[in-house]
Amino acid sequence: MADRTAPSAIDDILAEYHGLESQLADPALHNDAGAARRVGKRFAELAPVMTTYRKLETAKDDLAAARELADDDASFAAEVPGLEAQVEELEAALADLLAPRDPHDGDDVVLEVKSGEGGEESALFAADLARMYTRYAERHGWKVETLDVTYSDLGGFKEATLSIKSRDAARDGVWSRFKFEGGVHRVQRVPVTESQGRIHTSAAGVLIYPEPDEVEQVQIDESDLRIDVYRSSGKGGQGVNTTDSAVRITHLPSGIVVTCQNERSQLQNKARAMQVLAARLQSLAEEQADAEAAAGRASQIRTVDRSERIRTYNFPENRIADHRIGFKAHNLDAVLDGDMDALLDALGKADREARMAAE
């Protein structure tokens, strides 16, 4: 039975874990809230690795003892096959945990939904997608903030920006689950605007950005920003308040435009808009630094066109199909209500298998 774990990899993790443990025990660390948060987050991320490693070491010790005593005691001989299976299972689990991982897996996200080809129906579908992600987040106890929405005439979303934050990044980082959602989503159904009952096809786009813990992590020159304020609006252009509290920030070098209008004050909207801008600039910097990442993220949405799809939502057949991994299920109604775990698990499994195959 071959040991699937690389000794150098686990040795590095052990050294890092014990180093972080020492840092957390040092009162001086907690004088810097940001540093303490980063160390605590990384310590929590390594906890599953340490737990699995310790279980494996215990199982190996038990197996060695059972083999040693098996010749003299039949009861120990009977335990050997079960312990061998347990060691093999734990080795596989540890190998998976040690496989190369996305450094953003524990991060919160900024999620943008945009209507595309299909007019009003596309905007209504974009709103359905935003609700799907919100319901999934609620099932997992995550916090969802709507930062900005531009409504269509029928109450759909021309554009919407959500901030989704996890309570336990080590266990269920939002990016680790939602990072596969970026791309064009196609819907096939009878629109509410269709009087003849004909099935139409339209599309909406989703963009996902890992959100930095702190805006200061991303270098932003204030002189590169144009900041405009305006009056917040709701569905159909209805005024939300009577002050110019909504904020639009344009990053002049990149052309990125971020708006936020859902907070109560102009200062709050500016702060949240800066967080979204930092997330988008961080993603852009990583794309430029890594050609592979650039190709992957650029493909999230080249154009919100029906042909550039990653997934199809077929209402007449109650079917959802992810075209990247060949996933199909006939529970579209449940998925749109936030029951996405089977779909996201399948995407995560395919990603892990690809990473392990590339080692």
Quote the tokens at residue 282.
């961080």
Band of pLDDT at residue 23, cut at 50, 70 and 90: very high
The CA distance from 342 to 345, in Å, is 5
Q: Letter for the amino acid at 321?
A: A
Quick one: average pLDDT of 162-191? Answer: 86
Band of pLDDT at residue 235, cut at 50, 70 and 90: low
Q: 251: which strand partners?
A: 225, 256
- Whether 89 has a pLDDT exceeding 80, the answer reads yes
Neighbours of 166 (CB within 10 A): 22
Quote the tokens at residue 202.
């339209």
- Whether 355 has a pLDDT exceeding 80, the answer reads no
What φ, ψ does residue 251 adopt, rounded to 5°? -90, 105
Mean pLDDT of the chain: 85
What φ, ψ does residue 354 adopt, rounded to 5°? -65, -40
SS3 content of the chain, % helix, strand, coil (to 5): 50, 20, 30
Band of pLDDT at residue 83, cut at 50, 70 and 90: very high
Using alpha carbons, list the distances in angstroms from residue 268 to 75, 83, 151, 227, 240. Answer: 68, 57, 22, 14, 15
Q: Where are the beta strands (DSSP E) in 193-251?
A: 200-211, 225-230, 246-251
pLDDT of residue 119: 86
- Which of 64-68, 71-75, 300-304, 309-313 is predicted least confidently? 300-304
Tens of pLDDT, residue by residue over 261-302, are 877 788 889 988 998 999 989 888 887 766 554 444 444 544
pLDDT of residue 42: 85
Quick one: average pLDDT of 92-114? Answer: 87
Band of pLDDT at residue 134, cut at 50, 70 and 90: very high
Q: Letter for the amino acid at 136?
A: Y
- Whether 111 has a pLDDT exceeding 80, the answer reads yes
* Of 112, 178, 173, residue with least CA distance to 340: 178
- Which of 10-14, 253-257, 300-304, 314-318 is predicted least confidently? 300-304
- Whether 5 has a pLDDT exceeding 60, the answer reads no
Q: Letter for the amino acid at 108?
A: D
Using alpha carbons, list the distances in angstroms from residue 10 to 7, 39, 49, 99, 102. Answer: 5, 19, 9, 11, 18
pLDDT of residue 87: 96
The CA distance from 13 to 48, in Å, is 11
- Which of 226-230, 264-268, 344-348 is predicted least confidently? 264-268
Q: Letter for the amino acid at 254?
A: S
Quick one: average pLDDT of 19-27? Answer: 93
pTM of structure:
0.73
- Alpha helix segments (H runs only) across 5-118: 7-25, 33-69, 74-98
pLDDT of residue 219: 83
Tens of pLDDT, residue by residue over 294-308, are 444 444 544 444 446
Write the Ramachandran bin of 326: left for phi over 0, alpha for psi from -120 to 50, otherwise beta: left
Report strand pairing: 225-230 vs 200-211: unpaired
Quick one: average pLDDT of 71-94? Answer: 92
Band of pLDDT at residue 80, cut at 50, 70 and 90: very high
- Whether 2 has a pLDDT exceeding 70, the answer reads no
The CA distance from 90 to 94, in Å, is 6
Q: 250: which strand partners?
A: 226, 257
Quick one: average pLDDT of 147-151? Answer: 90
pLDDT of residue 180: 93
Tens of pLDDT, residue by residue over 237-251, are 444 555 678 899 999
